[in-house]
Structure 1
Amino acid sequence: MPTARDAVDHDKPPVRALYIHTPFCVHKCHYCDFYSIVDTQDRQEAFCDRLVHELRTLAPHTGGLPLQTIFVGGGTPSLLGPQRWARLLDAMALLFDLSLMRAQTSTADLIHHPSPLPPLLPIGEFTVECNPESATADLMAVLAAGGVNRVSVGAQSFNLHHLKTLERWHNPDNVFRAIHAARDAGIRRQSLDLIYAIPGQTLEEWRSDLTIALSAGTTHLSCYNLTYEANTAMTARMNAGQFTPIDEELEIQMFELTHEMLQSSGLMRYEVSNYALPGHECRHNMAYWRQQQWLAAGPSASGHVYASHDSLDGGFRWKQTPRLGDYLAGSGGPEASWYSPLADLEKPDPARAIRERLMTGLRLAEGIDRAAILEGAERASPGSMDRLLARAKPYLDRGLLIDAQGRWRLSDVAMLRADGIAADLMRAVVSHKTTNVNSMDRSV
């Protein structure tokens, strides 16, 4: 069975971003399709043991350079509690250079890129996702001491009825408790996640959620429309006729209201669903949308590294086993066994890499480098440059796609159709070889 070693063990630039997936939750939310389990304390302990060994195996792939971003998602990372987090952070400090996470800065120190690129704080970013109920003051103190400088709190809604629809059981008041605990601990950057287009939700109820979220004074808001993913309880309930999704026109109104309210409050949209104060964009997610490199640790975590020192050659993309039992069974024995077993491994395909850049890059307000995308398309598949230009022309003529300062970006109106427009442009870039994919995914 392939392991992460098959993806990362080759000549490539040092990797300076890391994603860690913690699978534990108190309860499986009905809309969630991320890998998560309701589990026991002893398995959490075994997971931490295994994770430390995996991180030790991955550390050399940073080339000894300071990590620029770390993102710990889930699941519910905050559920591990202060003691396990203290242990993990101590181990990470020994294995990785976390000096950028502790660097201090102010808004006066922003690095300003030429417009329309967003300014980013010149420090490392270490994010931990938190549930309002488990984001205690003690935990925040431990996280801050270990270099965590950003938390993302899953609020989802401040309306108890809509939280119940989503099968979220936290008290909305605890969202504010979590934010204040982070600030008191010295974690200066906080983000809230919200969901709209919940069955039965009105436009005014969504306006109320946005108003309450803005009153928290966080530096970042992620606002996602509810999607009905396969194999989730939410989709099963919908298919059984237990509720009716809101209509498309109302969902569009909610999307437009989000942009109007957040922009007028100083939070700038830098990605279709993400808004931030200048300099407070999520740097780790920017690495993902820009198709940069990141290592992956934990069950179901996904990673991406370049195949060579030329990023246009494409890269290895992989997903680790989405079963905790299989992940834990990989421990012990020789060093190679600490690499996680994989559920999926995609080997380099330059055409696929360009298609992915179109899909993720056009979701960003900054857009994509026009010359790089055209060069990459032609290198990957001769004739693709002309096909891509031809497909782009109608969008350019209608003002949906804007060509400015050497970049293609979507207009505000077109942001609502970002995935559809990107999918259309992607059809211009075809592969002349079959990507070698090893698929071992199993249902969980």
Structure 2
Amino acid sequence: MRGLYLHVPFCFHKCHYCDFYSIVDALGRHEQFVHRLLRERDAAAEAMGDTPETIFVGGGTPTLLPAASWRELLAGLASSIGPGLAEFTVEANPETVTGELLDVLVAGGVTRISIGAQSFQPAHLQTLERWHDPENVARSVERARAAGLRRVSLDLIFGIPGQTVDDWADDLARALALEPDHLSCYGLTYEPNTPMTIRLRRGDFEASPDETTAAMYELTRHTLALAGYEHYEISNWARPGERCRHNLLYWTNRSWWPLGPGAAGHVGGVRWKNAPRLSEYLESSGLPPITDVERVDADGVVGERLMLGLRLIDGLPLGVIDELLATGGRGSTRAAAIAKHEDAGRLERANGRLRLTETGQLLADLVLVDLI
């Protein structure tokens, strides 16, 4: 098994843009959750096989778990940490990063932390219903490095209603001043049925104009390139050697196993999600209830490999493109779509690879939907 993903659903507040499974738990079920998570890991051990190359703990807010719960969880996961583990990431909210917690994480084998900064502007955080003090981002980075976590990533969001290009330039500058090893910069997405989308439809605010969002993305590419970061995926930049190995599993269509309610997995062409209901999860035994099972056929595998592989800035080798177009039942249709987007300047062939152009990166959804 290449990767292991653990989902910790607890949050102290549900951010309005987030569509990941998360809950505000008033019942104090952290300890019960950790026990169940480890029992699930034991039940999945045979299916998982070898120890993973990467582990990623997301949420929710994983760092909302107290240090004692993390100590127990990491001790229980010790058998999943073999000599081949290349990366162990934990997502963090700046309000929950303490020295004690970081010491526990480092002692338990965590090698990388991803801090959800989102913005350094209080007004834009408020629009997102994201409740943290922007000054705590710098404190979190400082504490992480003091604890021995060398690899630090920051998440930022652009295209927030009311955000200007100058605001975004300031966010980038403040993030770069912290010298992160990795930056994820996401355009705000209005996911169905999130409070943010409901507020938009209700007319509480107007979405950022497309031209403003495009200007922010172009500024990101220019600013981070000058700062020495490699643009390796549509929304991700890294210093040399600091690409997120776990997320590369997703984009290269490799296998990973999910643990925890709401966690999604992919093994050998089968995708599924653990049922996103904490109470049902805690009451179950062995492997948890699952939902959204999809067995991807040969043509679906081709579509996924094209869609995911072309998100990478380097794209896919032309030889791989030829092999994929020769597989499944839509080779001629996909070849025509590729030609159409090449003619429109959204795809290009360079250095033996097919990749999105800079214009294509801005319009990636338009391109990739034709290739699925």
Give the whole-Å Cα distance in 2 for the aligned partners of 1:350 and 1:329: 37
Give the whole-Å Cα distance in 1 for the aligned partners of 2:145 and 2:153: 12
Instruction: Indicate if the aligned counterparts of 1:16 and 1:62 stay in contact, CA closer than 8 A.
Output: no
Q: Does 1:200 align with 2:154?
A: no
Q: Which residue of 1 aligns with 2:82?
A: 98
> Helix, strand or coil: the match of 1:177?
helix
Alignment map for 1:35-434 (pairs within 5 Å): 35-40=21-26, 42-64=28-50, 66-93=51-78, 95-101=79-85, 124-306=86-268, 315-331=269-285, 338-381=286-329, 384-426=330-372
Give the whole-Å Cα distance in 1 for the aligned partners of 2:112 and 2:8: 17
The CA deviation string for residues 206-243 of structure 1, in whole angstroms up to 9 with x for no partner, is: 10000000000000111111111111111111111111
Q: Offset at 1:398? A: 4.6
Counterpart of 1:34 (choices 10, 20, 43) is: 20
Q: Which residue of 2 aligns with 1:441?
A: none
The answer for unaligned runs of 5 or more in structure 2 is none
The CA deviation string for residues 240-262 of structure 1, in whole angstroms up to 9 with x for no partner, is: 11111121111111111111111
Q: Offset at 1:97? A: 3.5
The residue identity in structure 2 corresponding to 1:364 is L
> Helix, strand or coil: the match of 1:58?
helix
The CA deviation string for residues 271-318 of structure 1, in whole angstroms up to 9 with x for no partner, is: 111111011111111100111110001011100011xxxxxxxx1010
The residue identity in structure 2 corresponding to 1:150 is R
The residue identity in structure 2 corresponding to 1:363 is R
Instruction: Indicate if the aligned counterparts of 1:36 and 1:74 stay in contact, CA closer than 8 A.
Output: yes
CA 1:41–1:192: 2 relative to 1, 3 Å: farther
> Helix, strand or coil: the match of 2:163?
coil
Aligned CA RMSD, in angstroms, stands at 1.5
State which drifts further: 413-422 or 21-30: 413-422
Give the whole-Å Cα distance in 2 for the aligned partners of 1:245 and 1:423: 23
> Helix, strand or coil: the match of 1:379?
coil
Give the whole-Å Cα distance in 1 for the aligned partners of 2:309 and 2:3: 18
The answer for unaligned runs of 5 or more in structure 1 is 1-14, 102-123, 307-314, 332-337, 427-444
The CA deviation string for residues 180-199 of structure 1, in whole angstroms up to 9 with x for no partner, is: 11111111100001111111
Instruction: Indicate if the aligned counterparts of 1:198 and 1:226 stay in contact, CA closer than 8 A.
Output: yes
Give the whole-Å Cα distance in 1 for the aligned partners of 2:288 and 2:42: 12
Instruction: Indicate if the aligned counterparts of 1:135 and 1:178 stay in contact, CA closer than 8 A.
Output: yes
Q: Report the identity percentage.
A: 49
> Helix, strand or coil: the match of 1:296?
strand
Give the whole-Å Cα distance in 1 for the aligned partners of 2:332 and 2:102: 53
TM-score by length of 2: 0.96
Give the whole-Å Cα distance in 2 for the aligned partners of 1:363 and 1:77: 27
Give the whole-Å Cα distance in 1 for the aligned partners of 2:353 and 2:182: 25
TM-score by length of 1: 0.81
Instruction: Indicate if the aligned counterparts of 2:54 and 2:87 stay in contact, CA closer than 8 A.
Output: yes
The residue identity in structure 2 corresponding to 1:321 is A
The residue identity in structure 2 corresponding to 1:263 is A
The residue identity in structure 2 corresponding to 1:344 is D
Give the whole-Å Cα distance in 1 for the aligned partners of 2:30 and 2:81: 25
Q: Offset at 1:83? A: 0.8
Instruction: Indicate if the aligned counterparts of 1:98 and 1:147 stay in contact, CA closer than 8 A.
Output: no
Q: Offset at 1:323? A: 0.7
The residue identity in structure 1 corresponding to 2:337 is R
Give the whole-Å Cα distance in 2 for the aligned partners of 1:61 and 1:374: 33
Q: Offset at 1:399? A: 4.2
Instruction: Indicate if the aligned counterparts of 2:346 and 2:367 stay in contact, CA closer than 8 A.
Output: no
The CA deviation string for residues 63-97 of structure 1, in whole angstroms up to 9 with x for no partner, is: 33x4211110000000012111111111111x324
Q: Offset at 1:53? A: 0.4
